[in-house]
Structure 1
Amino acid sequence: MSIYAGLFGKLPTLKDVGSIKQEQATQLLDKDQKLIGKYYIYDRQPVKYEDVPKHLIEALIATEDSRFYEHDGIDNISLMRVFVKNLILQDKSAGGGSTITLQLAKNLYGRKNYAFFSMLINKFKESIVAKRIEEVYSKEEILTLYLNTVPFSDNTYGIESASRKFFNKSVQDISINEAATLVGTLKANTYYNPRLHPERCKGRRNVVLSQMVNYNYLSQDSLKYYSNQGLKLEYRSFNHDLGLAPYFRAEVKKQLESILDTLKTSEGEKYNLYKDGLIVYTTLDYKMQALAEAAMKEHISTLQADFEKSYGKNAPWETNKNLIESAIKKLPQVKIYKENGLTDAQIKDSLQIKKPIDLFSWKGDTIKTSSAVDSLKHYLKFLNTGMLSVEPSTGAVRTYIGGIDYRYFKYDHISQSERQVGSTFKPFVYTAAIENGLDPCTYFSLNKVTYTNYDNWTPSNSGHSDEDPYINYTLEKALSNSVNTISVKVLENVGIPKVLKQVEKLGISKELPNEPSLALGVAEISLKDLTGAYASYLNKGKAVSPYYITKIEDQFGNVIAAFEPEISQKEAYSDYTRQVLLEMMKSTVNKGTASRLRTVYGLRNEIAGKTGTTQDNKDGWFVGLTPNLVTVTWVGNDNHSIGFKSTALGQGANSALPIFAKFYQKLNADSNFKSVTNASFEKPSQQVLDDLNCESTKRDNFIKRLFKKKEKKKTFN
């Protein structure tokens, strides 16, 4: 009576029981509604009764509560046994007596620790709540509530989350053995954790199967068949740092937090990303993302080995004291030590203290006894990457790789980084030139020119020291071969202001350098903005803004926010210009700096593209354009002082292009992506074909050669 009266805490009323609200994880879905990840405090997502397979219900009842459909929530005989053991025999470990409804009461409202007779008091409280649950809910509803709230291994709540975590499938698709495995863990979810203790868990699974036989849910022959099978897991962690597309999930999370700040529930409350069971529909393509990540890892792991080998014993992260000391000063620990009043000598000593540290490696993560300085040197050497693929007509993001491993490298090279874009800027210069009337068959000389009004700056062509200065290239030949000297001359011809205006129309609004080196890509631009600008060549001259979220629903399926593509309303240039540039970038792939897509990787897809390499080989870029997908890849070191040892290794064609190439090899092998891999560019107009129909090179005659000798120096207009 004292418990009933509330002397040991208020009991939930029938009304409370009837309005149960549990914290639920927010689900992140791809474009085809496949689960990408979740945001949660407790990993829980609900399931409907009709989605639970019959054999799972049977396994649960046979093991946990064989008379579930017969009692009213309480097994009186078992409850009396607990009373006698706890009160009379003082057995503090006395258990038993739990029905599914009693367990549900415990799951919903928890237990408190009382000075005396805790087990007894909690059991009686739960029995009262259980009776009320049985009054309010049907047996099917009770089973549904129980399965949605019961704790499983690895901090997982609810059968749907457990099924997805341990078997990578929805609960409605799990087999008898998988159902028996999950039900078996309920006895002690840590002790029978299938990931940590597979043999122990298998034994418990077989107990559940035996119980199913005892209660006629399974035949003896079936028991022999299932119990002889091994325990097969397809474990998928929904840890925020692990799993598919972690950089994408982190970026979407930032956007969701801003979006939800502007929305209110029907009760006028703010939505909680971690508790309210929202469903977020995104543009990402799950399978395409998996292929992109695989391609990135295959290439970067090999490139990293070549990168380290190229430096040998003279690696800057080991021998360059100024670089190392500069990096040490930026360590978060150093800032903390200084705030705590430590001297420079004390800080230096503290950074030399060795302790076990988890270190990333492409060969497999290792734990080594290292100091903070050792760890710094280790991480200084790693190349990083960014890769973004979008649908050119909308900007819908299909793949998103912000770095090589989110666990160790949180910095996102898509949403946070701006790097010099190198020769990937050149198409914008040529676009402005064509748009302002320059004939595609205009010839420009390869010869070097010193611009006296810019500190005698003399742009040169990488890897072409012996080139004939009297050879002239058309715009197509110059762009496809990424000729620096001609790019600067084209910029001079059209004028820097017009190029800057053109770039602004392409959605790149930041202030760019107002100098001739702009033609060579000294501007620092985000990978995201670069991708959106390049989409214009496939989208009728209109740039796009890459976007991630299409809509958000509450836990009841009501749409609380929806989003449309952000596409420029006006064409940034004419369709004639667009077709000309597209043809030029096709030449880049077919016979220019990106030709290894054909010769080395054997790609036969219709592809246009542009490679990019920055000064001192600090950044490698590749932009790949296919009719229905724009992909941009970048590779470099996060420390701007560390570049590739040689152009052969660091040029975009070697550092960044292979990620795209391997990605498309994988797409080609999967018939699900035929709409991407088999797509064809539209045929250019006859005028475009005619205007590009000229000899790609010609050599100056004697008179012009004499004139050029006098034109070695000039001012940049």
Structure 2
Amino acid sequence: MAPMANPSKKSTPNNSKKNSSFRKYIIGFWTLFGAGILFIIVLFLLAGWGAFGKMPKFEELENPETNLATEIFSSNGETLGKYYSENRTPIKFDDLPDHLIEALVATEDERYYQHSGIDAQGTLRAAIFLGSRGGASTITQQLAKLLFTDDVSKNFMGRVMQKFKEYIIAIRLERQYTKEEIITMYFNKYDFIYQAVGIRSASKIYFDKEAKDLKLEESAVLVAMLKNSALYNPVRRPDLVEQRRNQVFKQMERNGFLTREEKDSLQQIPMKITFTPQGHDEGIATYFRVYLQGFMRNWIEKNPKPDGSSYNIYRDGLNIYTSIDSRMQEFAEDAVAKHMANLQKEFDRQNENNKTAPFRDINEDEVASIVKNAMRVSERWHKMEAQGKSKEEIIKSFDEKREMRVFSWKGTRDTIMTPKDSILYYKSFFQAGMMSMTPQTGEVKAWVGGIDFKSFKYEHVKQAKRQVGSTFKPFVYATAIDQLKLSPCDTLPRNHFTIEAGKMGTQNDWSPRNSDDKYEGMMTLKSALANSVNTISARLIAKTGPRPVIELLDKLGVDTKDIPAVPSIALGTADMSLFEMVSAYSTFANEGVYVKPVIVNRIEDKNGTVLYQHVPETKDVLSKETAYVTLNLMEGVTQFGTGTRLRGNWAVNNAYYKKAMTGYPYDFKNPIAGKTGTTQNGSDGWFMGMVPNLVTGVWVGGEDRAVHFPGISFGQGATMALPIWGMYMKDVYSEKDLGVSSGAFPRPENLSIEINCDNYKKGKNDSQLIPDELDF
């Protein structure tokens, strides 16, 4: 028998083929693996070389291109508003609360402090599970995408190429910046929508507070929004955002930032936001911010950057430190809103049977002319004209009813009316202007240019000029005191007085009438000013001449080119702005020294370098004696004249009238110098009020002079404007930190003009005052 073969030493054709195939698979696998690695390396290299699109240079990584909002600060450090193309205001890492950073890391990138830009573990997980168990983008990659890549590509290969770019940029960012700097840049760059670009803007808009003051539950809301701020937005979808917020708490517990008890407790807190939009039409001091834009344009034209280019308030991140005090600004806006709502209600009531409402003393043809002129300057007219529409088509469109949203004192309301009717509707509203200023420094502390900036863009502090009425008279009295050394106790007859035609520039005989039609007896100058006696003002300007009064105004910062040198200006026929009136009156309170009003104290660039520092502009205009005696005259206005409503002993019987006096009784006990002003037919109501370190002016009137009350009881400065001053000052005095004086005006040393009428002159009866009668 032949010996059996050893099977272990015998090869078969099949085994050889299997071994050969296995080796091929192994070789093929490693070849493919190596090729894949090589392919990825090549993709990284190509991405780094810019083959898939522009890559940032080192300098761009050092200074990433961002649009930074210019921030406007009040004198007490609050943000008044911003100018921006993107509402981004940078924040420093030290101002980010720890819980905000913890929430971000726990939710968006658990291994943030362990990786160098790319999370290999997360990337592998995302690749294996195709993203179903979470994405792989690190915080650094998300920042890279925000900084340097375009919108997300819609096709797969484009997205892959974009991802490689993000990887390269993320790695470079990690090499260039610290982890803290990357987190700060990410929070500064992210868009939370509603004009909230960056965490600081988002904190203000969604919670009305600075980021450093956020509570943990508020920080969690903002971190929840990072997933998709349009989808997870607390304004649009509060329930969805609350669920996402609670997931943030869960992630913080998982990563050891919260205990289970803390997480459970936080998840029970209802989500609450304080939505505070920061659009250009929202917030406080809206009219002031528009005026400030003009100031900045002028400054930018004269102050280029070191490289010769111009600053841009919408993207250069400037910091503007203004003179406005946010507390006083809020008091001013609140006083205007409260009084004007009540005044408007009474005005509408008195117009119920007025056929030409809201106008008075004009016929229907004149009403039609006003409406036609308003149509021609309207935005609708300009748009349709630009579209090539004919004049007839445009006019016809004003009679077609349409849906619209209109302003009302009870809030914006939806209605249906024709554009022509909307013109009449908006013209029916009284407007107001208010400005408050520190006379010693020129700092403007409050600026209210109208009743609602969204609906009424025309500004009534600096832009508008209106007849000033009797508020002009102190300039006449001051000129007379300066020239003639008059005392408040000197007397003049209140009887009729005429300046003949041809004298002092008059074309016809000029015989002013007194508002009370009383022309008998003698009056002290103090009583005459307190009660706005026109005939005595006429006698004074006849003695001084109108030219010296205009020269005084010019020294007080008033534009006098359109003020004629005629005696009638003594009664306030001149048009002046509220800005001019407040700055001029401030000279009396500042002992005769004029200080040019200031609205900007300092401007800094985004790095804190001072670009502008205000230097006060002052000039001596009046002697201390003249300024003080004029103030003493004006104190009489609030002691026993047209401004006594500021005192606690004034009362009215008419129920509607009393209701219009919003905030009454004011019950001021301290010295107040002031002057009311009322123009013909009550078209304009003024009140100028002064305490030693604060001068405030108020104007109220219709857009058109034909919009006014039918009678003087409501159509006077004491009713239209004075209540705003009263409410404002009550609030100002309630805020002790503001330091507004309630004392007497400083009396000059060696005062030569006697102001105490008891000491001025005694007659036969010592209890009876008999001042000298002036011979004019």
Q: Calculate the TM-score normalised by the size of structure 1.
A: 0.91
1:526 to 577, 594, 598: 577
Q: 2:689 aligns with which of 617, 620, 624?
A: 624
Compute the displacement of 1:244 (Å).
Answer: 0.7
1:589 paired with 2:654, answer: no
Corresponding residue for residue 682 of structure 1: 746
User: Cα distance 1:664–1:499, how it changes in 2: closer, same or farther (>3 A)?
Assistant: same
Q: Which runs of structure 2 are paired with 1:315-394 in the superposition (5 Å)?
A: 316-317=356-357, 320-331=364-375, 332=378, 333-334=380-381, 337=384, 345-394=392-441
Contact map agreement 2:497 2:538 (CA 8 A) in 1: no
Residues 240 and 340 of structure 1: is their aligned pair in 2 closer, same or farther, counting only changes over 3 Å? closer
Q: Is 1:324–1:377's contact at 8 Å kept on the other side of the alignment?
A: no
The 8 Å contact of residues 472 and 698 in structure 1, kept in 2 or not, is answered as no
| Offset, 1:81 | 5.8
Distance 1:519 1:494 in 2: 11
Q: CA deviation at 1:14?
A: 3.7
1:690 counterpart letter in structure 2: E
The answer (yes or no) to whether the contact 1:418–1:524 under 8 Å persists in 2 is yes
Give the AA of the match of 2:693: N
Quote the offset at 1:344 in angstroms.
Answer: 5.0
The CA distance in 1 between the partners of 2:69 and 2:676, in whole Å, is 42
- Cα deviation code 1:486-542 (max 9, x no counterpart): 111111122112222222222223221222211100000111111111001111212
2:147 maps to 108
Cα distance change on mapping 1:573 and 1:336 into 2, 3 Å: same
> Match of 2:651?
none
Equivalent residue runs for 1:663-682 within 5 Å: 663-673=728-738, 675-682=739-746
Is residue 685–residue 715 contact of structure 2 (8 Å, CA) maintained in 1? Answer: yes
Residue 161 in 1 paired to residue 205 in 2? no
Alignment of 1:286-305 (within 5 A): 286-305=326-345
Deviation at 1:644, TM superposition (A): 2.4
Aligned to 1:17: 61
Q: Show the counterpart of 2:769.
A: none
Whether the 8 Å contact between 1:49 and 1:141 is mirrored in structure 2 is yes
CA distances 1:602-651 after superposition (whole Å, capped 9, x unpaired)? 12232110000011111000001011100000000111222222111110
Asked whether the equivalents of residues 473 and 698 of structure 1 are also in contact (C-alpha less than 8 Å), the reply is no
Percent identity at matched positions?
36
User: Which 10-residue stretch deviates more, 75-84 or 282-291?
Assistant: 75-84
Offset of residue 107 of structure 1: 0.8
Pick one of 212, 229, 232 that aligns with 1:172. Answer: 212
Contact 1:394 1:544 in 2 (8 A): yes
Q: Tell me, what secondary structure is at the counterpart of 2:532?
A: coil
2:439 matched to 1:399? Answer: no
Corresponding residue to 2:183 among 129, 143, 160: 143
Tell me if structure 2 keeps the 8 A contact 1:304–1:383.
Answer: yes
Contact 1:63 1:208 (C-alpha < 8 Å) held by counterparts: yes
Q: Secondary structure at the match of 1:44?
A: coil
Distance in 1 between the 2:268 and 2:129 partners? Answer: 39
The alpha-carbon deviation at position 325 of structure 1 amounts to 3.4
CA contact under 8 A between 1:28 and 1:281: conserved in structure 2?
Answer: yes
Q: Which residue of 2 aligns with 1:195?
A: 235
The answer on whether the counterparts of 2:358 and 2:427 sit within 8 Å (CA) in structure 1 is: no
Q: Given the alignment of the two structures, is residue 580 of structure 1 paired with residue 645 of structure 2, yes or no? A: no
Other-structure match for 1:98: 137
Give the aligned partner of residue 446 of structure 1. Answer: 494
* One-letter amino acid matched to 1:574: S
User: Is 2:95 the counterpart of 1:51?
Assistant: yes
Q: Distance in 1 between matches of 2:513 and 2:471?
A: 17
Q: Deviations over 1:258-292 (max 9, x none)?
A: 21222233433221111111111110001110111
State the partner residue of 1:713: none
| CA radius of gyration, larger in | 2
Cα deviation, residue 169, structure 1: 1.7
| Residue 606 of structure 2 corresponds to residue 541 of structure 1 | no
CA RMSD of aligned residues (A): 2.4
1:388 alignment partner, SS class: strand
Structure 2 unaligned residues grouped into runs of 5+: 1-42, 502-506, 649-664, 764-775
Query: Mean alpha-carbon deviation: is it higher for 214-223 or for 282-291?
Result: 214-223
**Other structure's SS at 2:209 match:** coil
Counterpart residue type for residue 468 of structure 2: V
User: Residue in 2 aligned with 1:458?
Assistant: 511
1:419 aligns with 2:466: yes
- CA shift, 1:116, in A, is 5.0
The C-alpha deviation readout for 1:24-68, integer Å capped at 9, x for no partner, is: 111111112221111111111111111111111100011000110
Query: Counterpart in 2 of 1:714?
Result: none
Cα distance change, pair 379–215 in 1 and its aligned pair in 2 (3 A): same
Asked if 2 retains the 8 angstrom alpha-carbon contact of 1:611 and 1:653, the reply is yes
Cα contact 2:486–2:753 (8 A) shared by 1: no
Q: Secondary structure at the match of 1:417?
A: coil
Q: 1:79 pairs with 116, 123, 135, which one?
A: 123
Distance 1:57 1:528, change over 3 A: same
- Counting only pairs closer than 5 Å after superposition, residues 556-575 of structure 1 correspond to structure 2 as 556-568=607-619, 570=620, 572-575=621-624
Deviation at 1:70, TM superposition (A): 0.9
Secondary structure of 1:631's aligned partner: strand
Between the aligned partners of 1:307 and 1:641, the Cα distance in structure 2 is: 13
- Asked whether the 8 Å contact 1:415–1:526 carries over to 2, the reply is yes
1:510 corresponds to: 560
One-letter amino acid of the structure 2 residue matched with residue 70 of structure 1? Q
Could you say if the C-alpha distance between residues 438 and 369 of structure 1 is closer, same or farther in structure 2, counting changes exceeding 3 Å? same
Q: Are the aligned partners of 1:471 and 1:697 in contact in 2 as well (CA < 8 Å)?
A: no
Identify which of 694, 698, 708 aligns with 1:633: 698
Write the distance in 2 (CA, Å) between the matches of 1:605 and 1:183.
53
Does 2:546 match 1:493? no
1:660 partnered with 2:750: no
Q: Secondary structure at the match of 1:330?
A: helix
SS of structure 1 residue aligned to 2:568:
helix
Residue 205 (structure 1) aligns with: 245
Q: Report the Cα offset of residue 227 of structure 1.
A: 1.7
Distance 2:106 2:557 in 1: 63
The whole-number CA distance in structure 1 between the counterparts of 2:286 and 2:585 is 25
Compute the displacement of 1:317 (Å): 4.0
Alpha carbons of structure 1 residues 266 and 85: separation in structure 2 relative to 1, 3 Å: farther
Residue 472, structure 1, aligned to residue 503, structure 2: no
Equivalence for 2:324: 284
Can you list the C-alpha shifts for 1:157-181, whole angstroms capped at 9, x where unaligned? 2111111222222211111111111
Give distance in 2, aligned partners of 1:339 and 1:619: 37
- Separation (CA, whole Å) in 1 of partners of 2:335 and 2:349: 22
Match of 2:12 in 1: none
- Is the alpha carbon distance of 1:7 and 1:272 closer, same or farther for their aligned partners in structure 2, counting shifts above 3 Å? same
User: What is the CA–CA distance in structure 1 between the aligned matches of 2:249 and 2:128, rounded to whole Å?
Assistant: 32
Structure 1 residue 696, shift from structure 2 partner: 11
Task: Tell me, yes or no, if the aligned pair for 1:278 and 1:555 is still in contact at 8 Å.
Answer: yes
1:351 maps to amino acid:
F
Q: Specify the code of the residue in structure 1 equivalent to 2:697.
A: V
Choose which of 698, 703, 712 in structure 2 pairs with 1:647. Answer: 712
TM-score, normalised with respect to structure 2: 0.85
Q: Deviations over 1:573-625 (max 9, x none)?
A: 22221111111111111111100001342122321100000111110000010
Q: Partner of 1:712 in structure 2? A: none
Which secondary structure state, in structure 2, belongs to the residue aligned with residue 550 of structure 1?
A: strand
Amino acid at match of 1:382: F
Aligned match for 1:550, one of 593, 601, 606 = 601
Number of aligned residues: 689
Maintained 8 Å contact 1:293/1:401: yes
Pick closer, same or farther for the CA change 1:116–1:65 going to 2, 3 Å. closer
